[in-house]
């Protein structure tokens, strides 16, 4: 088997692009908003961990920070920006809006990814997150809330925006940390801005000229955005300088403690997100909940895996129920509890990055197929489902590159990293 250090940069980039393109397409189908955005975040975190050959401790941290960090951008609205892009007189303003929003998504998500690979102390992380929240509030309160610069429709049910707040939040994180954080943020803003703007432009063209061949051009926009953002993050990971080594061992975490942490993570999302939205009336409610999730994830590697995977899976299980409102409530609660508990148990027992990657990939694809083809409201786009399955197969076929590291499900991956790459 060719060692991962010898994998050509093109293959490195294509794996990350395919992974995040799939994740973003799934995000648009089985879970919107910030909870849905945790899907591509978790997937790219695990993909980068595979490429960098991180040990189980570092993988868990990167997984949690990637899921939450990419989730932060999900507080942004862009549906009305899509509407503006279809009007010739507002087309370029909408494309600028997509570039700014996509760039902001990559900027903040990249900064949080960088924090995972150059981790601060827990105290410094708390200070960083507090500064991020304060800066986010300033940008939202003085730019977005008064609509100083506005990329939605001001005349027809105007939507609250938060891109300026998230942008300032990312700047606050970058100001407090070093080169790794800035590198991921810069690569994220390049990939995100180009990807979202290009995807939006392709959607406009496709709806005008190719609807008879394919109808879901919104999904093409999402695939494009995910692919280029994944490329940006992969390039940052490929080119970052080596860092100091970290202990390969992982602390033992009791099953009850791990499952309790998973339940706490789910409770933070379910309780705090609607609380802040409805009672404090801020647009960046997930940013508050996400900051708490990041602090929770620092408790242990097992807890970090629960934050990154179990919370994400629970979110799209809930979305499946919400799409089938005729389902008996208590039956749905029971099924969601059992499914989430099964994921939490598997995540607690498994340190193998390959198996965790396959878990999130195929669980999300299966959820998508169920959402399309279960009895009830049908949203089956057969071509899109075929693309989901094809991308999942492509990502899975990379597994053979990591078989040497996946010798045992409970063994951490080898801690060596490619020469000239991340080793922290």
User: How far apart are alpha carbons 152 and 130 in whole angstroms?
Assistant: 29
Q: 424, 58 in Cβ contact below 8 A?
A: yes
pLDDT tens series, the chain, 424 aa: 344 545 677 888 899 999 999 999 999 889 888 889 999 999 999 999 988 888 889 999 999 999 999 999 999 999 999 999 999 999 999 999 999 999 999 999 999 999 999 999 999 999 999 999 999 999 999 999 999 999 999 888 889 999 999 999 999 999 999 899 999 999 999 999 999 999 999 999 999 988 877 888 999 999 999 999 999 999 999 876 544 445 455 666 666 666 676 777 777 766 666 655 555 556 788 898 899 899 989 988 888 999 999 999 988 888 888 887 777 888 888 888 899 989 989 998 888 899 999 999 999 999 999 888 876 655 557 888 999 999 999 999 877 665 544 443 334 433 334 434 444 4
For residue 397 the two structure tokens come to: 């076929």
Closest residue by Cα to residue 3 from 410, 405, 411:
405
Q: 57, 44 in Cβ contact below 8 A?
A: no
- Which residue in the block uniquely carries the two structure tokens 């080169």? 179
Burial class (CB in 10 A: 0-12, 13-18, 19+), 222: buried
Look up the pTM and report it.
0.89
First CA to last CA across the chain, in angstroms? 25
Q: 363, 313 in Cβ contact below 8 A?
A: yes
User: How far apart are alpha carbons 19 and 70 in whole angstroms?
Assistant: 14
**Angstrom distances, CA of residue 270 to CA of 35, 274, 391:** 10, 7, 30
At residue 168, the pLDDT reads 98
Q: DSSP strand E in 279-337: where?
A: none
At residue 422, the pLDDT reads 41
Q: In Å, how far from its chain's centre is CA 197? A: 19
């Amino acid at each position: 088997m060719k060692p991962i250090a010898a994998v050509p940069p093109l293959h490195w980039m294509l794996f990350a692009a395919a992974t995040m393109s799939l994740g973003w397409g799934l995000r648009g189908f089985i879970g919107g908003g910030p909870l849905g955005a945790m899907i591509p975040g978790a997937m790219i975190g695990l993909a980068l961990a595979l490429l960098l050959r991180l040990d189980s401790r570092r993988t868990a941290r990167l997984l949690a920070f990637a899921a939450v960090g990419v989730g932060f951008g999900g507080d942004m609205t862009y549906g009305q920006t899509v509407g503006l892009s279809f009007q010739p007189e507002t087309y370029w303003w909408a494309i600028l809006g997509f570039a700014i929003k996509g760039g902001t998504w990559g900027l903040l998500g990249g900064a949080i990814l960088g924090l995972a690979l150059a981790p601060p102390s827990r105290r410094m992380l708390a200070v960083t997150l507090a500064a991020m929240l304060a800066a986010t509030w300033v940008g939202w309160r003085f730019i977005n809330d008064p609509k100083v610069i506005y990329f939605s429709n001001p005349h027809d049910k105007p939507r609250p925006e938060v891109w300026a707040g998230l942008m300032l939040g990312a700047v606050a994180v970058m100001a407090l940390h070093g080169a790794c954080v800035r590198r991921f943020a810069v690569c994220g803003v390049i990939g995100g801005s180009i990807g979202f703007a290009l995807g939006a432009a392709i959607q406009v063209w496709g709806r005008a000229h190719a609807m008879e061949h394919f109808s879901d051009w919104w999904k093409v926009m999402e695939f494009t955005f995910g692919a280029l953002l994944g490329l940006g993050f992969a390039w940052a990971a490929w080119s970052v300088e080596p860092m100091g080594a970290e202990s390969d061992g992982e602390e033992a975490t009791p099953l009850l403690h791990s499952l309790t942490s998973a339940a706490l993570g789910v409770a933070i999302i379910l309780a705090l997100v609607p609380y802040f939205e409805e009672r404090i009336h801020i647009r960046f409610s997930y940013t508050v909940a996400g900051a708490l999730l990041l602090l929770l994830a620092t408790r242990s590697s097992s807890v970090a895996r629960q934050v990154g995977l179990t919370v994400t899976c629970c979110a799209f299980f809930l979305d499946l129920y919400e799409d089938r409102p005729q389902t008996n409530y208590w039956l749905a609660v029971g099924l969601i509890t059992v499914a989430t508990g099964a994921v939490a148990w598997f995540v607690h027992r498994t340190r193998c990055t390959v198996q965790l990657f396959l878990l999130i990939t195929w669980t999300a694809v299966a959820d998508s197929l169920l959402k399309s083809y279960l009895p009830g409201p049908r949203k089956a786009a057969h071509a899109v489902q075929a693309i989901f399955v094809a991308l999942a197969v492509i990502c899975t076929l990379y597994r053979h590159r990591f078989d040497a590291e996946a010798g045992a499900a409970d063994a951490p991956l080898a801690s060596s990293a490619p020469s000239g790459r991340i080793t922290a």
